[in-house]
Amino acid sequence: MDIDLSGRRALVSGSTKGIGRAIAKGLARAGAAVVVNGRDEGGVTRTVDELRLEVPGAEVSGVAADLATAEGAALLFERLPEADVLVNNLGVFGPQPVLEIDDDEWRRYFEVNVLSGVRLARHYLPRMTERGWGRVQFIASDSAIVTPAEMVHYGMTKTALLAVSRGYAKAVAGTGVTVNTVVAGPTHTEGVEDFVADLVGTELPWEEAQRKFMAEYRPNSLLQRLIEPDEIANMVVYLSSEAASATTGGAVRVDGGYVDSILP
């Protein structure tokens, strides 16, 4: 499929590494002017420079801001008042026994994983509806549907994104703007490598550690391997395009068949 996003400006939150970086690269390859985001100025600058080399001719810029805070969001809005495509990718995760998670940690996960995207959608959606075109995506997880025992607080935030996304889709019904959630399955990122090591140990070679992790902690996967970030990005690029004009209010799965359900 030939997807052309020329003339569209796309913002990807939390995009200096992992899935977010792959999404930024995929959108840039499709011709979008991409805005990279992260908290660290050095990390944002480095990612922008790398993407410009990896995608010759791409228009890539960056805004360093902590979007888990109202102050960081305000800084972003000042630098980038409007966007055609918004990908709410920012998120944190990590294993912790649920009975040991204190109030502050519950709040931190909600503010980073949910409220950051709520703020961005609340700002950019009215501007999209005025123009009669826009794409908003929330990057969720199989954990939204299959709550992981080792990180319930993370699963809770991803479940919340399903409701938030559906609600925003209803709010912009009939405007030419679409809002969807991408349900990503277990994905191979730098953070997940550390996560896998925490669960199965650091003494195993990566390929063996990955197989052990999938067999013991994600046995429902029909793919039986970790998904690569580019595979998530492919779906995001499609949903950002004209070709996906009839897909809205949905939870679109790129989970490797992990969720054992016909519907999300």
Distances (CA, A) of 254 to 59, 63, 120, 134: 27, 28, 23, 22
The structure tokens listed for 102 are: 């204190």
The structure tokens listed for 169 are: 């889709």
The whole-angstrom separation of Cα 218 and Cα 215 is 6
Distances (CA, A) of 236 to 22, 68, 120, 129, 243: 10, 22, 17, 20, 12
Residues carrying an active site annotation: 154
End-to-end Cα distance, the chain: 25
The whole-angstrom separation of Cα 264 and Cα 262 is 7
CB 84 within 8 A of CB 178: no
